[in-house]
A and B are shown apart, each in its own frame.
Chain A
Amino acid sequence: MTPLVWITGLTVAYRRAHDDVEDTALESVSLDVPAGQVTAVIGESGSGKSTLAHAVVRLLPHNGHIRSGRIELGGEDVLLRGDREFRALRGRHIGFVPQDPVASLNPTKTVGAQLKEAFSLARSPLSPQAVEERIHQDLLDVGFADPAALLARYPHELSGGMRQRVLVTIAFSQRPRLVIADEPTSALDVLVGKEVLTAIHAARVRHDTTVVLITHDLAVASRNAQHVVVMERGVVVETGPVEQVFAHPEHPYTRALLASSARVAQGRVLSIAEAHLRRAVQPVRETGQPVVELEAVSKRFGTARRGTLAVDGVSLTVPRGSTFALVGESGSGKTTTSRLVLGLERPDAGSVRVLGRSVPDLRRGELRDLRRRMQVVYQSPFESLNPRLSLRGIISEPLDAYRIGSRAERLARVDELLDLVRLPRSYRDRRPTELSGGQRQRVAIARALALRPELLVLDEPVSALDATVQARVLELLTELQRELDLTYFLITHDLAVVSDVAQRVAVMRAGRIVEHGTTSDVILTPHDDYTQALLAV
């Protein structure tokens, strides 16, 4: 098994603008990519895995440069090539699948034009007729039913998954020896991501291509790759066959990474159901009256004729003291449902009752009173905290808004809340930009808890965080729920998260609830096809 790509001592640095300081992104990275197989490069954000991918195709941002090392492709040190000679390799010998399918296609050119361009740029010897035939066949191979209609379309007329499959087609179109896929599914819903991975797999097998798959998702790596490279902060910490690394991780970081995912055990990735069974079942303490009751709620955006039904006859009940998870992919209406609960949107039909009050009927002042008892934690802690305020200003915002206590009392409460979310009190004068993502999300949780609410709406609270950080934030949320007797209304796309924390779950698709019940019932014995598909990922 000879390596196709052989990287030795690769060091990449980013130069800061207007400054001579350089930040090293890759520190003497050495690895080899076996020919004809899939090598997954895994790591969390900031590990340098994307930099590695871009360095191999020499598409680093303009301030990044390769300081030293060798990159051998089929025995040739490609770093010795000048820019112009290197360009001849791209497309023809190295294909690239970028991360964000939305921004990666030219919005004003048809799909057909962008596919054909790959042939003309690579000076393909094929006749125009042959090019068209090959494009047609390639598109069929990645799962497009009607390639002819697709060619005349513009990117904005396609879904994210379709765009990514077009990009896969482009990457494989010149039959390169190597294709690098940089987080090809991270911007997509799980089911769609699965289709894209299937398309890559099909193309790879058919054309016997070597693939480097950059991913942060351990499940994706273990399902699709034979080899794995684990990176942490610009350094390769471990390499080897997937089964071996997952079963017997040697480096502490690899171990921590694997431990953070409840779904990895004995060197293989468990299904969500298997992982669920391994966890201690949490007791459901449903007491008193329900905190949230939705009854046949509908919400339409736009006009009656052209608009879309974002929420379509949704009924659900959230018992006090438990965690209720609403699961769905993007566009399923789950976020709209949470906004209806919060009183940020008005339902067109049905009743929304929160803590015994009918939300749409509340006057402004009454809604404000109700909001003291229900608070939100948003998805991205990078956007939900005002970067100009100190943590003290952020956490005491609700206290200030409701004029609770004296200045000194508010200050004391801020310290108390920092303790509660396990952040040092000394952080109170820091600004959000000085914190990591997980720490910021703790701040957001502290702010939400300031008013001692009964209900917390958690809108994808961990999906913007790295896996190891996710686990800790979820742990914190579970502890807080026990300590403070909170009710959680959790919005998420990730059934694995649900299995960790929720007692009840409802699966939403296209505005409707397709399945609901206790977490164990839904995860272990799903009835709906869609739920089954989600669980099979």
Chain B
Amino acid sequence: MTDTITRAVVEPAPPPTPVRRRRGRVRELHVLLALVVVLVVVAVFPGLVTWHDPYELDGLPFTAPNGDFPFGTDEIGRDLYSRVVHGLRVSLFSAVLAVVVALAGGAVIGVLSGLRPGGLLDRALGILTEAVMAIPGVLLALAVITTYGRGAFVAAVAIGIGEATGFARLIRGCVIQAGTLTYVEAARTCGAGPLRVVFRHVVPSIHHPVLSYTALHFGLAMLAIGSLSYLGFGEAPPSAEWGVLIAGGQKYLAHAWWVAVVPGLALTAVVVLFSRIAYLSQKDNR
């Protein structure tokens, strides 16, 4: 028997996984996640990094960016930098709400329809999902706003409902695919019950694509909420939500470009941050 042990060990082990290749990506991912933490802190305590009140008329109207007003001032002399920083809270947290709604709704629908693909429930939910997909997200949100009234959080929930369809499709596909994995079937034939199979094998095997998709759609939700605010259905002025800021600055483009441009840059930067996180976490899964 000792003989067989040594023989078993002699079998060549596979080359070690290329750890170093992953390390670069993981480091970048960590830096970006740290940035997200900074953003959240700033969103909760905007006073930490600003020195003007976002609603006070501290400067002259349309002051160009300078040392005291890094992003300049708006049409009535409010500090644009302070307004952008304060606006982060609404933009960020309404996007969180949208993604939570989308993920929760999508997970329930996706898991229910993925458990018995082709079943009656799956077909019914499929038609429902497709019906919601057939309505462009912005229009669906507008329809919701028609009934519930305007506001960033109503807009966020509405956007979340629209995006839930994408999550539902993704999760359904993942659940179906996980069901065909040999090791999932092996667990079942070992006597593992359905709950055990789902939580020990299926969820860990699908959480990577779902997390990556969530990060991507977090950015898209911010864009959609910005669009709604821009159209006048999100936050109302004098809120500093970024869509509102851009809409407000549009009129003054000709002589004060920064009022509309800077909030747009901020929005883009945050969206790029999240889509980069999505990209990295997707590539990192093996």
Chain A residues in contact with chain B, CB under 8 A? 16-19, 21, 23, 46, 233, 342, 344, 368, 371-372, 375-376, 378, 380, 383-386, 388, 397-398, 400-402, 422-424, 433-436, 438-439, 442, 444, 447, 450-451, 469, 472, 476
Contacts and interface: CB of A to CB of B under 8 A. Distances in A.
B21 A469 contact: no
Contacts of A23: 15
Contacts of A402: 191
B187 A386 contact: yes
Nearest to B2: A422
B182 A378 contact: yes
B8 A398 contact: no
Given A378-B182, A383-B183, A439 B11 contact: yes
Given A401-B193, A439-B8, A18 B13 contact: no
B190 interface: yes
Contact of B189 (A376, A400, A442): A376
B175 to A, nearest CB: 16
How would you classify the secondary structure of chain A's contact residues: helix, strand, loop or mixed?
Answer: loop
Bin chain B's interface residue count. 20 to 34
A434 B14 CA distance: 7
B276 to A, nearest CB: 16
Contact of A476 (B4, B181, B182, B193): B4
Given A18-B25, A442-B8, A383 B191 contact: no
Contact of A424 (B9, B13, B181, B193): B9
Given A16-B18, A344-B189, A422-B1, A388 B204 contact: yes
A475 to B, nearest CB: 8
Contacts of A433: 14, 17
A398 B14 CA distance: 27
17 contacts: A18-B25, A19-B20, A19-B24, A46-B12, A375-B189, A380-B182, A383-B181, A397-B190, A397-B192, A398-B190, A401-B196, A402-B191, A435-B14, A438-B8, A447-B186, A451-B191, A472-B8
B150 interface: no
A46 B16 CA distance: 13
Interface string B153-196: 00000000000000000000000000001110111011111001
Contacts of A21: 18, 20
A107 to B, nearest CB: 21
A401 B189 contact: no
A378 to B, nearest CB: 5
B8 A447 contact: no
A71 B8 CA distance: 38
B255 interface: no
Nearest to A479: B4
B8 to A, nearest CB: 5
Nearest to A420: B1
Given A16-B20, A342-B189, A439-B11, 17 more contacts: A19-B20, A46-B12, A375-B189, A380-B182, A383-B182, A383-B183, A388-B204, A397-B192, A401-B191, A424-B5, A433-B17, A434-B14, A436-B12, A442-B8, A444-B186, A451-B191, A472-B11
